[in-house]
Each structure stands twice: as structure tokens, then as C-alpha cells.
Amino acid sequence: MGMDPEPYRFQPSSVVKNSTDTLVRHAEEVVAGAYPSWQWLYEKLETGDSRNMLLTVLAYRTIGWKHVEMPLDTPAFWAKLDELSDLQIGRTATDSLETGVNGIVLSRFELERYGFDIEIFSDAFGIFNEFPISLSQSGRHHRLQAG
């Protein structure tokens, strides 16, 4: 996504093999300095799913994507991002917006197919994050309904 590496992420160059013990030790070292805060946050979460997600994100951020799979890292998710990319309008200069930040250029999207009467400058990932669009297994397009 064009972002700088995180400073606390595990650096595999320091060991020949990324053993489980080495990875766990690194994650523990990252958390150790703020353990009371992490424990407080963990205890404030109301569901097991929320707590598991916190631990998954923490593990992902400390030891990296090669060792921890995130829930959305699936073929269905990547297919949906490709599908959303197809909603870009045109490819001219007026259909894009330079943000002036890290060379990020946003494209104009039209979201009527998903029930939103809107054109917006974003990228496919931003559309997925900001609008309730489901990852339908059937391949059909569904808008999530507030329940």
C-alpha cells in the first residue's frame, strides 16, 4: 500500500531462521513496555471475537504478514478489490486527484451499482473500508443492511 515499514516489526535479517520461539519472544518484547495498557484494552473488549482480533492484529503488526494471516486476506477479498477497481470513472486528469502525500493519487469512483448515489475520489481499499459492501460468496453484489 506504499507505506513505510513499521519500526517495531520483526526484522528477519537478525536470525537465520524465524523459529516460533524467536517470533514469540519478539512479540513479547514489543508488548512488555505497555503491558498494563494492552491488558486494560483486552479486558474492555466484550466478545471473544473482539479479543481474538486484537491479539491477531498485535501479532500481525509485530511479527508480520508472513507469519500471521488476517481474516480478510482471502481470495474473495482480493477479488472484491479488483471488482471495486473496475468502478473507476475514466482515466483522464479530471478523473484523478493528487493528494500531495507520498505520491498517492485518488481515482473517481461511481458507486450506484451498490446502491449509493455518489461519485467519490478514493481507491478501491478506501471504498471497501468506508461503504458497507459485502464479500458475497455467490459472486452477487449485495449491500449490507443495517440491522
Q: How confident is the model at residue 144 (pLDDT cuts 50, 70, 90)?
A: very low
CB of 84 closer than 8 Å to CB of 127: yes
138 compared with 60, residue with greater pLDDT = 60
CB of 8 closer than 8 Å to CB of 30: yes
The secondary structure of 63-82 as a DSSP string is: H-TTT---TT-SHHHHHHHH
Q: What is the pLDDT of residues 116-131, one digit of tens each?
A: 888 889 988 888 888 8
The residue extents of the domains of the chain are: 12-63, 75-130
Q: How confident is the model at residue 97 (pLDDT cuts 50, 70, 90)?
A: confident
% of the chain beyond a pLDDT of 90: 14
C-beta atoms surrounding 87 within 10 Å: 19
* Predicted pLDDT at 95: 82
C-alpha–C-alpha distance, residues 125 and 72, integer Å = 12
145 compared with 90, residue with greater pLDDT = 90
pTM of the model: 0.55
Count the alpha carbons within 13 Å of 27 in the hemisphere toward its beta carbon: 20
46 compared with 3, residue with greater pLDDT = 46
Q: How confident is the model at residue 43 (pLDDT cuts 50, 70, 90)?
A: very high
